[in-house]
Structure 1
Amino acid sequence: MTAEELEFLSRLRHRPEGVMCVLGKQALADFQVFGERSSGTNAVEWLIKENTNLDPVKSYGWKHGFPVALAYHPASLIVLIVRDPIDWVVSMFNNPHAAHKDVNTRDFSAFIRGEWAMFVRPRIDRFWKRPWQMTVRSDVGGQECVFDRDPITGRRFRNVMQMRYAKLSSMLSIRNRETNFCLVKFEDLISDPRPFLQSIRCATAQRPVANFKLLPTDPLNPKGKPAERAMKRDDISEEDYNYLLQELDAETENALGYL
């Protein structure tokens, strides 16, 4: 990342309300959330929907994927949420969403060292066409989802940490694509969402309020589904922890305040 991009990320260290760049060309009317799985995308969408006058939309591509939008409307706000990399990878292991059969989802050491791949859920209309407006055949269910491959090489990512950095870099690039953009950390949102929500209300010319609707359920599991596993950060072996530190992008994570 460039020095300017890293400086932008570093602003999050002391801004629990997040960092926002609003073009001001038109009053904000709607929003779409982006972020990797297990990062709190459902939580931040619920909070904004319930506490502001912005409408949630799914007009700009898969929220967990690389940017594919043709253009962004000046009334839309793009919200990107990020999470601590170690907590994130543990959560991915506990809930490996649509993991391909080639991914070892039983052993954490193998999981973090192996290639990542996911499959296309069989119900194409429900999972892809209707919610994300994807142009895709209805008979490719069960095949590998190439949205989770490297968009440049077309190959699988060497591991989930490599995918994290590629996704994070690409999603951050939305800020440079002539749109309104907001970046927030999952940890700040969970600790106290009120500063973040006040900043959103301010950006939408809504008066500040004293009381907000707060998350009623687990922010990472709004539907109450039991996790496939219950591994915790403290369960990571020293060897695996050191491997993860070697694989993550230290410059980016340090700018975000995670290292």
Structure 2
Amino acid sequence: MIGQDFRETGWQIAPNGVIPTQFQVFGERSSGTNYVKRILGRNTVMQPIEDLGWKHGFPQMTAIPAHVAVVCVVRDARDWSLSMHAKPWHCPPQMQVLEFAEFIRAPWATIADRKRYFPQVQALGGLGLPLQLDRDPLTGVPFANLYALRRAKLAALLSFYNRGCTVVFCRMENVIAAPQRFVTEVQAELGLASPEQDFRPIHKRLGSRFLPSVTPRPATPKAMPDADLDFMTTQLDSAQEALLGYGYT
């Protein structure tokens, strides 16, 4: 479980007793998953994998091998909301045309839009159909809005503490602010051998370029409008957010 010091440090490392040789990153879109994957992959002896399932989805793996560390990444809901609107990955055209205020209030809709991201679609078909990995895993019902999705995805990330695996839980903002210290503490807590090369920072933008399916798209606000911030705070689980060190008042 997340400790009280997480609010200050921005990361927590919970070993399972086996020194990991591989790791997989999980977290929502626009939460820094590519950055964290790259910074650990470049600066530790662990090798990144994607074998445990879609990194932006709910846990669906059959098992988590003892030598695999699960790395969970979260981000401030305000910046995350703006980024999700600016780059609405896997959203159908009817979502992509929405203004920000409409986007965050709309029932959450995504589709399996590109074969390269979804091996099952590549193998069996289903291109353009609803993205089941983004629906409520128990009921199959689409989430009521972006923040219902966030509540469920954060709960899913926190569930890794109950799954018997090594967990590295971190806030995107803190890792970006102190990447070398983050890597050093991960190495120490997990008992990893030090890599031969010096620390290698990341300077360029990561992730694939978002290609909208509609043009032009509505502009994303530079900051969260007050009315939308008020709506967001009514939709979030304030206790869950506070546990992760976030507050929005």
TM superposition score normalised by structure 2:
0.89
Match of 1:254 among 227, 242, 249: 242
Contact persistence 1:34–1:79 (CA under 8 A):
yes
Match of 1:14 among 8, 19, 33: 8
Q: What is the CA-CA distance between 1:192 and the residue it aligns to? A: 1.2
Contact persistence 1:79–1:183 (CA under 8 A):
yes
Contact persistence 2:100–2:221 (CA under 8 A):
no
Q: Percent identity?
A: 30
1:187 corresponds to 2:173: yes
Q: What is the DSSP-based 3-state SS (H/G/I as helix, E as strand, rest coil) of the residue aligned with 2:124?
A: coil
Q: What is the CA-CA distance between 1:106 and the residue it aligns to? A: 3.0
Which letter maps to 1:214? Answer: P
| Cα separation, 2, equivalents of 1:208 and 1:138 | 41
Q: What is the CA-CA distance between 1:226 and the residue it aligns to? A: 8.3
Matches within 5 A, 1:163-242: 163-202=149-188, 203-207=190-194, 211-218=198-205, 221-223=206-208, 231-234=220-223, 236-242=224-230
Task: Give the 3 Å change call, closer, same or farther, for CA 52–122 of structure 1 in structure 2.
Answer: closer
Q: What is the DSSP-based 3-state SS (H/G/I as helix, E as strand, rest coil) of the residue aligned with 1:103?
A: helix
1:33 corresponds to 2:25: yes
1:100 corresponds to 2:92: yes
| Cα separation, 2, equivalents of 1:137 and 1:28 | 31
Q: What is the CA-CA distance between 1:208 and the residue it aligns to? A: 8.6
Aligned-residue CA RMSD (Å): 2.3
Contact persistence 1:198–1:208 (CA under 8 A):
no
Q: What is the DSSP-based 3-state SS (H/G/I as helix, E as strand, rest coil) of the residue aligned with 1:183?
A: strand
TM superposition score normalised by structure 1:
0.86
Q: What is the CA-CA distance between 1:201 and the residue it aligns to? A: 1.6
Contact persistence 2:108–2:145 (CA under 8 A):
yes
Matches within 5 A, 1:57-206: 57-103=49-95, 105-123=97-115, 126-129=116-119, 134=120, 138-202=124-188, 203-206=190-193
Q: What is the CA-CA distance between 1:20 and the residue it aligns to? A: 0.9
Deviations 1:126-165 (A, max 9, x none): 2222xxxx58853210111111111112111000111011
| Cα separation, 2, equivalents of 1:216 and 1:230 | 26
Q: What is the DSSP-based 3-state SS (H/G/I as helix, E as strand, rest coil) of the residue aligned with 1:253?
A: helix
Deviations 1:100-121 (A, max 9, x none): 2342543011101111111112
Deviates more, 1:134-143 or 1:101-110: 134-143
Task: Give the 3 Å change call, closer, same or farther, for CA 250–192 of structure 1 in structure 2.
Answer: same
Task: Give the 3 Å change call, closer, same or farther, for CA 65–224 of structure 1 in structure 2.
Answer: closer
Q: What is the DSSP-based 3-state SS (H/G/I as helix, E as strand, rest coil) of the residue aligned with 1:27?
A: coil
